[in-house]
Structure 1
Amino acid sequence: MSSTGTAAPPVPAHVSIWGELDTVDHELRHVDVDGVRTRVLRAGSGPDLVLLHGTGGHLEAYARDIGPLARHFRVTAYDMVGHGWSDLPDTPYTTDVLADHLVGLLDVLGVDRTHLSGESLGGWVAAWSAAHHPDRVDRLVLNTPGNIANKPEVMARLRASTTRAVDDPSEANVRPRVEWLFHDPSMVTDELVNLRRRVYGRDGFRRAVRNILVLQDPVTRARFSWDPAWVSRIAAPTLLLWTDHDPTGGLDEAELLLSWLPDAGLHVVRGAGHWPQWEKPTEFVAVHEGFLLGASG
Structure 2
Amino acid sequence: MTHISIWGELADVDHTLRHVDVSGVRTRVLQAGTGPDLVLLHGTGGHLEAYARDIAGLAADFRVTCYDMVGHGWSDLPDRPFTIDVLSDHLLGTMDALGIDTAHLSGESLGGWVVAWTAAHHPDRVERLVLNTPGNIANKPEVMARMRDSTRAAVQDPSYATVRSRVEFLFHHEELVTDELVRLRQAVYTRPGFRRSVENILVLQDPQVRKAFAWDPSWVARITAPTLLLWTEHDPTGGLDEADLLLGWLLDARLHVIADAGHWPQWEKVEEYLQAHHDFLLLGKDPS
Q: What range is the shorter-chain TM-score in? A: over 0.9
**Could you tell me which residue of structure 2 aligns to residue 246 of structure 1?**
235
Give the letter aligned to residue 76 of structure 2: D
CA–CA distance in structure 1, aligned partners of residues 146 and 159 of structure 2: 18
**Who is 1:290 aligned against?**
279
Count residues in correspondence: 286
Q: Taking every aligned residue pair, what percent have the same amino acid on both sides?
A: 73
Establish whether residue 63 from structure 1 lines up as the match of residue 52 from structure 2: yes
Q: Deviations over 1:208-233 (max 9, x none)?
A: 00000000000000010000010000
TM-score, reference length from structure 1: 0.95
1:99 counterpart = 2:113: no
- List structure 1 segments (4+ residues) > 3 angstroms apart after TM superposition: none
Q: Is the partner of 1:266 in helix, strand or coil?
A: strand
* Corresponding residue of 2:210: 221
| Residue of structure 2 in register with 1:153 after alignment | 142
2:222 match: 233
Q: Which runs of 5+ in 1 are unaligned?
A: 1-11
Q: 1:137 maps to what in 2?
A: 126
Partner of 2:172: 183
SS at match of 1:29: strand
1:135 counterpart letter in structure 2: D
Distance, in Å, in 2 between the alignment partners of 1:124 and 1:66 is: 21
**In the alignment, residue 138 of structure 2 is paired with which amino acid?**
A
Secondary structure, counterpart of 1:127 in structure 2: helix
Superposed displacement of residue 274, structure 1: 0.3
1:161, distance to aligned residue in structure 2 (A): 0.7
Q: What does the per-residue CA deviation read over 1:73-112, in whole Å, with 9 as the maximum and x for residues that have no partner?
A: 0000000000000000000000000000000001010000
What TM-score results when the alignment is normalised by the length of structure 2?
0.98
Task: Using the TM superposition, give the Cα deviation of residue 15 of structure 1 relative to its aligned residue in structure 2, in angstroms.
Answer: 1.6
* Alpha-carbon distance between aligned partners in 2 of 1:223 and 1:55, rounded to the nearest angstrom: 18
Unaligned runs of 5+ in 2: none
**In angstroms, what is the RMSD of aligned CA positions?**
0.7
SS at match of 1:28: strand
Amino acid at match of 2:200: N
Q: Deviations over 1:145-173 (max 9, x none)?
A: 00000111111011111111001111111
| 1:49 and 2:34 matched | no
For the residue of structure 1 that corresponds to 2:154, the secondary structure is helix
State the SS of the aligned residue for 1:262: coil
Per the alignment, residue 261 of structure 2 pairs with 272
Q: 1-side partners of 2:283 and 2:4: how far apart?
A: 33
